[in-house]
Amino acid sequence: MTESDNHPLPTSTSDSDQISSAEVPRATPEVDTRITIDEFMKVELRVAKVVTAERVPKSKKLIKLEVDLGSEVRVVVAGIAGAYEPEALVGRTVVVVANLKPAKLMGVESNGMVLAASLEGDVPMLVGFGDQPPTLGARVR
């Protein structure tokens, strides 16, 4: 008989020695959110000028904009009321996602999206141009 025969290893552990599956940290699968250049090229970013702007009734965040895309004027609803007064937006040149499917926001149909930038928790700031904006309707690439 060997030393290990005199002291066999336990074949099971007690309940207190086992780790429950709830305690085992599970790895969250990484989701690749990158898109291809072909997917990006499907997005139509266009230069537009804000023609009118007004608050959306009963909303703290939304402003209804009429934007001139050069070939047409359309309504776009933007969540920028925390950063801008509507009258300050009139005449401003902005970038619009022009090929989004229409969506109703607080009862107003929005036919695009105005690009804005913000850090987490900050108010959104419109993406725009300096003193020499491109022609209305020009594609942004």
DSSP 27: P
Tokens, residue 122: 């900050």
DSSP E strand stretches across 69-120: 73-78, 93-97, 103-105, 108-110, 113-114, 116-117
Tell me the one-letter amino acid at 15. Answer: D
Indicate the pLDDT class of residue 28, thresholds 50, 70 and 90.
Answer: confident
Burial of residue 100 (CB within 10 Å: 0-12, 13-18, 19+) is middle
Say if domain 47-140 classifies as CATH 2.40.50.140: yes
Euclidean distance between CA atoms 81 and 88, whole angstroms: 11
Q: What is the mean pLDDT of residues 86-108?
A: 97
H or E, element range at 66 = strand 63-68
Is 71's pLDDT higher than 90? yes
Is 12's pLDDT higher than 60? no
Cα–Cα nearest to 68, from 87, 86, 90: 90
pTM above 0.85, yes or no: no
